[in-house]
Structure 1
Amino acid sequence: MLAPARVSFLVTVVLEDLTNLPYVSGLYFAKWKLKGTRTVKGRTQKATVRENTVVWNASFQLEATIYVGKDGVLQPCDLILSINQEVNGDKSEEIGVVYVNLAEYAGAAVTTRKYLLQESRVNSIAKISVSMQLIKGDPTYRIPEAAPDGISGDVFGSIFSIDSPSLPGTQDIDTSLDRIRKPQGTDETTNFVDELFRTAKSRD
């Protein structure tokens, strides 16, 4: 039986900032790890929140091996970023998580997206840039479609692409988790996300 095909990439990630925090003080940092591994992990430096925003511009590199399905499509390969707030000096508390499927970025130049925190009580937005360079394997793989955007109860799992076309803020949202895209501009994004949050809560 043939082993599944796989390709390897040199991945460069930049965790730029976290916006729309409901806090005005405190130190924050991120832990990151590649799902399914024990040694591919790290953490950023701590940064102070200013005007409800934390700026890291933290860059790191890792090597990711991604399996190729029988249809030639790359299989999921999650980079997990845990956002933490320092508590009482030597302790920390996780305020949310971001899951970045690296297969969606494979072979691309620098791509920047904004992710709503998941498993979180706040609707803060992490801005992340990713670039990936093939270093081993057959380059004839196919990139999977980006995961559909949507919300479910209090848990947000949306991915907003900076290059996405602008849509009016009147788009309907229903329980079928229709695909949505962000409006252009940071302020518009924050207002749009807040509106989604209020709509989701009103339907609980």
Structure 2
Amino acid sequence: MLISQLFISKSRKIDFELSILFQDLANVPLVSGNYHIKWKIKYADLPSGSTPRAPITDHNVVWNQSTNTTVHLIVGKDNVLTPCELKLEIVQELNGGKDTHTIGTLMLNLSEYVGSGTTTRRYLLDECKFNSTLKLAIRLLQKSDNGIKFEVPPLKKQQIFADIPTMITERKDKGLVKDDSFIAGNVLTQSLTLFDELANL
């Protein structure tokens, strides 16, 4: 348990069983390397970890890897669950792991997913040059009941995308995608424009 939680009344701490399924990464304009997700969870018994490495195929990376742990959420003085951060970093490895690049990150507030059953969504990555999207399934089941009533913060929607088909397709002009280039010079303008339109909805 974190030191910051030692001074919080037990009546305001609620345990939840957290399950996360890391499904796939879509619309990646690269053709080489292995990819994995590094994760960190605040207030969790298992606070960090990583998925196995997976290759890229047709501009998509598939893991279908799950992790399970207990998280200790806190009820604030306003009776709303306080934030519990899930931080994700998607890493590309080249040359047998000698060269690594972070291609995007994502931060979610797990408290927003309480009481929603299994929530499956596709998220636009932050700090990503490609507008790639990550598909996750998240579930939190309450394990302890201290009798305290609490409210769940609203789920933020600006990061969420419909589970649309992969937009990046093979081009005859192979110059659009370079094998070992981390930053693609010209990345399917039409696909990026469509993503921008969806983000503004």
Asked which structure has the greater CA Rg, the reply is 2
Picking from 165, 187, 200, the partner of 1:187 is: 165
Picking from 33, 36, 42, the partner of 1:35 is: 42
- 1:86 aligned counterpart, secondary structure: strand
Shift of 1:110: 1.2
Check the 8 A contact 2:35/2:90 in 1, yes or no: yes
Shift of 1:146: 1.4
> CA distance change for structure 1 residues 89 and 192 in 2, over 3 Å: closer, same or farther?
closer
Q: Tell me the distance in 2 between the aligned counterparts of 1:189 and 1:51.
A: 11
One-letter identity of the residue aligned with 2:87: I
One-letter identity of the residue aligned with 2:32: S
- 1:104 aligned counterpart, secondary structure: helix
- 1:146 aligned counterpart, secondary structure: coil
RMSD: 2.9
> CA distance change for structure 1 residues 144 and 55 in 2, over 3 Å: closer, same or farther?
same
> CA distance change for structure 1 residues 144 and 43 in 2, over 3 Å: closer, same or farther?
same
One-letter identity of the residue aligned with 1:6: K
Report the count of equivalent residues. Answer: 169
In the alignment, what sits opposite 2:12? 5
Matching of residues 67-86 of structure 1 within 5 Å: 67-86=74-93
Q: Tell me the distance in 2 between the aligned counterparts of 1:25 and 1:83.
A: 15
Check the 8 A contact 2:81/2:152 in 1, yes or no: yes
Q: So what's the TM-score if we normalise by structure 2? A: 0.73
Over the matched positions of the two proteins, sequence identity in percent amounts to 34
Alignment gaps of 5+ in structure 2: 1-6, 169-189
Q: Tell me the distance in 2 between the aligned counterparts of 1:199 and 1:105.
A: 23
Check the 8 A contact 1:108/1:133 in 2, yes or no: no
Deviations 1:102-150, CA, capped at 9 Å, x for gaps: 111113321101111112212100000011111124363211111251x
Q: So what's the TM-score if we normalise by structure 1? A: 0.72
Deviations 1:55-105, CA, capped at 9 Å, x for gaps: 000100111111112221111111111100012213322111111211111
Alignment gaps of 5+ in structure 1: 150-157, 161-181
Q: Structure 1 residue runs of 4+, over 4 Å off?
A: 36-39, 188-193
> CA distance change for structure 1 residues 42 and 2 in 2, over 3 Å: closer, same or farther?
closer
In the alignment, what sits opposite 1:97? 105
> CA distance change for structure 1 residues 2 and 115 in 2, over 3 Å: closer, same or farther?
closer
1:132 has 2:132 as partner: no
Q: Tell me the distance in 1 between the aligned counterparts of 2:17 and 2:91.
A: 26
In the alignment, what sits opposite 1:52? 59
